[in-house]
Amino acid sequence: MKKGPLTDLLVERFETMPPQLQRAARFVLDHPQDVALMSMREQAHLAGVSHTTMMRLARWLDLDRYEDMRSVYAKALRTSAESPLSERRQDGDGSYSAVGVLAGTLAAEITRLGECANAMQLTAAASVLAESRNLFSLGLRAEHPVAQHFAYTLSRLGRQAVVLDAAGGLGIDALRGVGKGDVMLAVGIEPYCRATIETARQAARQGVAVVAITDSSVSPLARMAKASVIVISNPQSFFKSIAPALVASEILAKLIAANSGMNVDEVVKDIERQLAELDVFWKPPHSGKRSGRAKCNPTAGTGISAFPEIT
């Protein structure tokens, strides 16, 4: 995520701000380009505050007027490199379809994960996760696929993570007895799932280090996390994509494996051999052998008993 020129100051003073100022500050933190391009009243409307609140925010940051803040952000915008999506929109290609726009937006959001600041966040988060005694993965509702994919990717790389998926309401039971030395990856994109925040908060109270994949440096998860990875969730889209968070989780899993000291190639080959012996994946029938649908045991390798055969 691109940092605005006043990001560090806003984060530093965020906790001391009244609630309305926090809403205004959150908008500035999450949408630095809009600060430069939109009027103060437009920004106030999007932030859900009055225009006088935006003026108060400027004074909170030791600026005389909100226009002074806009000038700072406009200068930063002029000196920054244009994004790949902007370049494509300016090339005059009339065939640039809605599909291309959506794909380009997601590609740009994912590409930003490789920028220096984001790469440092990912590296720091992976270091915390790699040192865990027990590792947990938490993401509910829209973020559940991210938590599940993180655990699955880790398992294919020889490391296990417990997914707190609350199946049957028992997900949080896995946190009994956890404490210092254990780590939880928690995923939360606005609007934040209450159960995710409360579960992560309870884990933190028990001494578990929380690592967050979230969409703001002042989100509820980021504010309790030992390390955070901030991903863009396009505010102009009719839905918030989990694609950047999903990619971030996969990068974290691979960084953990790479830093574990294990021979990743050998581990992967050994796991693939075991899965082949368990006949987990479909294979086309060989000529001269039995025909028909290939056998699939959906629970093979999961530790769950196979479905009983119905006769």
Residue 124 has pLDDT above 50, yes or no: yes
Residue 96 binned pLDDT confidence (cut-offs 50, 70, 90): low
Look at residue 311 in the predicted model and tell me its pLDDT.
38
Residue 77 has pLDDT above 90, yes or no: no
Residue 95 has pLDDT above 50, yes or no: no
Query: Is the CB of residue 156 less than 8 Å from the CB of residue 271?
Result: yes
Tokens of 201: 């908060």
Q: Which residue's structure tokens are 């006769």?
A: 311
Q: Which residue's structure tokens are 């947990």?
A: 136
Given this chain, do its domains 7-79 and 108-264 carry the same CATH topology? no
User: How confident is the model over 205-228, as a mean pLDDT?
Assistant: 96
Strand ranges, E, within 90-197: 135-138, 162-163, 183-188
> How far apart, in whole angstroms, are the C-alpha atoms of residue 103 and residue 95?
14
Look at residue 307 in the predicted model and tell me its pLDDT.
41
Task: Report the percent of the chain where pLDDT is more than 90.
Answer: 53
Query: Is the CB of residue 49 less than 8 Å from the CB of residue 56?
Result: no
Residue 305 has pLDDT above 60, yes or no: no
Q: Which CATH homologous superfamily contains domain 108-264?
A: Glucose-6-phosphate isomerase like protein; domain 1 (3.40.50.10490)
Look at residue 82 in the predicted model and tell me its pLDDT.
46
Residue 70 binned pLDDT confidence (cut-offs 50, 70, 90): very high
**Residue 211: strand, helix, or coil:** strand
Indicate the average pLDDT of the chain: 82
Residue 308 has pLDDT above 90, yes or no: no
Q: Which residue's structure tokens are 């490391």?
A: 159
Residue 291 binned pLDDT confidence (cut-offs 50, 70, 90): very low
Residue 220 binned pLDDT confidence (cut-offs 50, 70, 90): very high
Residue 266 binned pLDDT confidence (cut-offs 50, 70, 90): confident
User: How confident is the model over 197-216, as a mean pLDDT?
Assistant: 95
Pairing of strands 209-214, 227-230: parallel
Residue 57 has pLDDT above 50, yes or no: yes
Lowest mean pLDDT among 20-34, 73-87, 108-122: 73-87
Look at residue 304 in the predicted model and tell me its pLDDT.
43
Q: pLDDT tens digit string along 139-178?
A: 999 999 999 999 999 988 888 899 997 555 556 777 888 9
Residue 297 has pLDDT above 90, yes or no: no
Pick the closest to residue 165 from 151, 153, 176 (CA basis): 151
Query: For residue 308, is the peptide bond before it cis, meaning its omega torsion is within 30 degrees of 0?
Result: no
Query: Is the CB of residue 165 less than 8 Å from the CB of residue 195?
Result: no
Look at residue 199 in the predicted model and tell me its pLDDT.
93
User: How confident is the model over 253-276, as a mean pLDDT?
Assistant: 81
Look at residue 257 in the predicted model and tell me its pLDDT.
87
- How is the beta sheet containing 209-214 ordered, strand by strand? 162-163, 135-138, 183-188, 209-214, 227-230
Look at residue 234 in the predicted model and tell me its pLDDT.
64
- Fold of the domain spanning 7-79: Arc Repressor Mutant, subunit A (1.10.10)
What's the number of CA atoms in the CB half-sphere (13 Å) around residue 159?
A: 28
Q: Enumerate the H helices of 31-81 as residue ranges.
A: 32-37, 40-47, 51-60, 66-79
> How far apart, in whole angstroms, are the C-alpha atoms of residue 24 and residue 12?
15
Residues in the chain, overall count: 311
Q: Identify which of 14-28, 72-86, 101-115 has the greatest average pLDDT.
A: 14-28
pTM of the prediction? 0.70
Cβ atoms within 10 A of the Cβ of 161, count? 25
Residue 296 has pLDDT above 70, yes or no: no
Residue spans of the domains in the chain: they are 7-79, 108-264
Of the two residues 128 and 288, the one the predictor is more confident about is 128
> How far apart, in whole angstroms, are the C-alpha atoms of residue 197 and residue 205?
12
